[in-house]
Amino acid sequence: MAKFLNYEDRLEIESGLKEHMTFTELGEKLGRDRTTITKEIRNYSIEQDTGYGSYPHNTCKYRKACKRKKVCGTNDCRHPLVAVCKQCELICNRYCEHYEEEICTHRFKPPYVCNGCSEVKKCTLTKTVYDALGAQRRATDKISESRSGILATEGEIARLNEILVPLVKQGQSIHQIYLTHKDELMCSEKALYNYVDGCLFDIRNIDLPRKVKYRPRYKKPELKVDRGCRVGRNYHDYEVYMEQHPDTAVVQMDSVIGSKGGKVLLTIYFVNVSLMLGFLREANTSKSVIDIYDELYHRLGGQDFRKLFPVILTDNGSEFSNPKCIENGPDGKGFQRTRIYYCNPSAPYQKAEIEVGHEFIRRILPKGRSFDELTQADVELMMNHINSYRRKKLNGKSPYEAFSFYYGEDLAERLRCHEVAAKDINLTARLLKK
C-alpha cells in the first residue's frame, strides 16, 4: 500500500463526501484507517467565500431581511442597478456599521466540509470545501516543502536568539557556545550558522570575527520560518481566489536588499494605481514585516486597511514566511484583515509590476549601495518622487494622482504620500546624496 494518498484516492473521498459516507466507510473503501481520512479532509479542505446567483458572499446575520442602501458611504454608487447593498459585489460587510458575523457551526463537526450539504447551493456564508484536485496540489506542495529548507518556528528562533546573542556580544564563538549550551540549544552547530546567514538573529556575520574571513559557500540553504506557510496560499490558490473575486484589488510585496547584512527595504505596490510604498527595516526578518503591517493597521484603522490590502501577493522569502500574523495580527489569532498568497518558486514574472517598480528605486539606490545611512524620511522622499512620475499606463497620470482619485487624498496623507512638482522630480542617485 502506498504511503501517501494519491489523486484517485482523493477523488473517491470527494465523491464519498457528496454521498454522505462516514469516515469509517471511506476508510474501509480505500483500505485506510478512519483517522487518515479525517486528517486528509481537515488538512486539505479550503475555505471559500462564495455566494449564489445575484447574491455575493455575505456573512452578516441580518443579511436575509436587510434592505440597507449605500452603506459604503458614497452617494455616487458605482452599481446603480443593485437594489440593496447585500446584492453588491463590493461586499457590504466591509462597510456596514451594523455588521455582525454569522458562522456556520456545521463546518466544525464531522464531516467538517460542506460538500454534502443540501443548502450549499444557496448559501452566502463562508464554506469549507474538499476538492480532490486542490487537495492533491496542496499535498504535493507540502511534501516538496518538507524536503527543502530549514524548519524553525518564530518561538524557536526567539529562544535561540536569547541564548546566543548575549554570548556572541561577549566575544564567544558559535562553536564555544554550542559546546557549553548543547542541551539548551537542541539543534546542530551548522543550523546556528545557517540561521545567522539568514539574518534570523539579532547578530550578523560581521559579529563573528572569523566567519567574515571565510569565502561563502556557492549555495546557501533556503531558510523558512514556517515550512507550511504556502499550504493553501500558493499561486494556484491565488488564481482560484481572483477568478472568484475578479474585482479585488491586489497588492504586491517584496524586499530590496542593500549591502549584505545591512538595512533592507520592504516595498508594497498597489497594482491598480501603480503606487509604491517603501519601509526601512533594520534586518530582513519576518518580525520586521509583521511590525510594519501592524503599524499600518493602527494608522489606517481596520476598515481602510482592509479596503487597501484585500489581497497581498509576494515571493517565497523567509521574511514573508509567517503569513498568519500578517493576516490576523501579531498573535495570528485575530480577525482576518488581509489574505496572503505566494508566487511559484523562481517565478518573479508572476509579480512583474513590483519588479518593474524596483527599477525606479535602483535609479536612486544602485545595487551594492548600503542602506545603513538612510532614514525612513529618506525612503519616503524617494517614494514621493517615484509616485509623482507620470506613467503611460495611467493615461499620463502619476501614481499619486491615480491613488488620490480612487482612495482619496486623506488616505494618501495617512500613508505619508505627497505629490512632488514635475519640475522638482529627481530619479537619480543625487536625490539622497549625503
Per-residue pLDDT, averaged over 101-118, amounts to 89
Q: State the Cα–Cα distance between residues 175 and 382, nearest whole angstrom.
A: 43
Per-residue pLDDT, averaged over 185-214, amounts to 77
Asked whether the predicted pLDDT for residue 247 surpasses 80, the reply is yes
Between 189 and 229, name the one with better pLDDT.
Answer: 189
pLDDT digits (tens, 9 = 90+) for 124-178: 898 999 999 989 988 887 777 666 555 667 778 888 989 988 998 888 888 889 9
Domains parsed from the chain with CATH numbers: 7-59+103-146 (no CATH), 150-224 (no CATH), 235-432 (3.30.420.10)
The amino acid sitting at 288 is S
Most confident option among 170-184, 215-229, 331-345, 391-405: 391-405
pLDDT digits (tens, 9 = 90+) for 39-85: 999 999 988 888 887 788 888 988 888 888 878 766 656 666 677 88
Position 221 scores a pLDDT of 46
Position 212 scores a pLDDT of 54
pLDDT digits (tens, 9 = 90+) for 212-238: 555 555 444 445 555 567 778 889 989
Most confident option among 143-147, 280-284, 386-390: 386-390
Asked whether the predicted pLDDT for residue 269 surpasses 80, the reply is yes
pLDDT digits (tens, 9 = 90+) for 410-427: 999 999 999 999 999 999
Q: Considering the chain, what is the average pLDDT of its residues? A: 86
Position 226 scores a pLDDT of 58
Asked whether the predicted pLDDT for residue 255 surpasses 80, the reply is yes
pLDDT digits (tens, 9 = 90+) for 294-320: 999 999 988 899 999 999 999 988 888
Asked whether the predicted pLDDT for residue 204 surpasses 60, the reply is yes
Asked whether the predicted pLDDT for residue 383 surpasses 90, the reply is yes
List the single range of 5-19, 92-106, 394-408 with lowest mean pLDDT: 92-106
Position 183 scores a pLDDT of 85
Position 259 scores a pLDDT of 83
Per-residue pLDDT, averaged over 269-289, amounts to 92
Position 72 scores a pLDDT of 75
pLDDT digits (tens, 9 = 90+) for 6-47: 999 999 999 999 999 999 999 999 999 999 999 999 999 988
- 3-state SS of the chain is CCCCCCHHHHHHHHHHHHCCCCHHHHHHHHCCCHHHHHHHHHHHCEEECCCECCECCCCECCCCCCCCCCCCCCCCCCCCCCCCHHHCCCCHHHCCCCCCECCCHHHHCCCCCCCCCCCHHHCCCCEEECCHHHHHHHHHHHHHHHCCCEECCHHHHHHHHHHHHHHHHCCCCHHHHHHHCHHHHCCCHHHHHHHHHCCCCCCCHHHCCCHHHCCCCCCCCCEECCCCCCCCCCHHHHHHHHHHCCCCCEEEEEEEECCCCCCEEEEEEECCCCEEEEEEECCCCHHHHHHHHHHHHHHHCHHHHHHHCCEEEECCCHHHCCHHHHHHCCCCCCCCCCEEEECCCCCHHHHHHHHHHHHHHHHHCCCCCCCCCCCHHHHHHHHHHHHCCCCHHHCCCCHHHHHHHHHCHHHHHHCCCCCCCHHHCCCCHHHHCC
Position 158 scores a pLDDT of 84
Q: Place 118 in a pLDDT band, splitting at 50, 70 and 90.
A: confident
Asked whether the predicted pLDDT for residue 103 surpasses 70, the reply is yes
Q: Nearest-CA neighbor of 387 among 368, 370, 400? A: 400
Q: Please report, rounded to a whole number, the percentage of residues in the chain having pLDDT higher than 70.
A: 89
Position 405 scores a pLDDT of 93
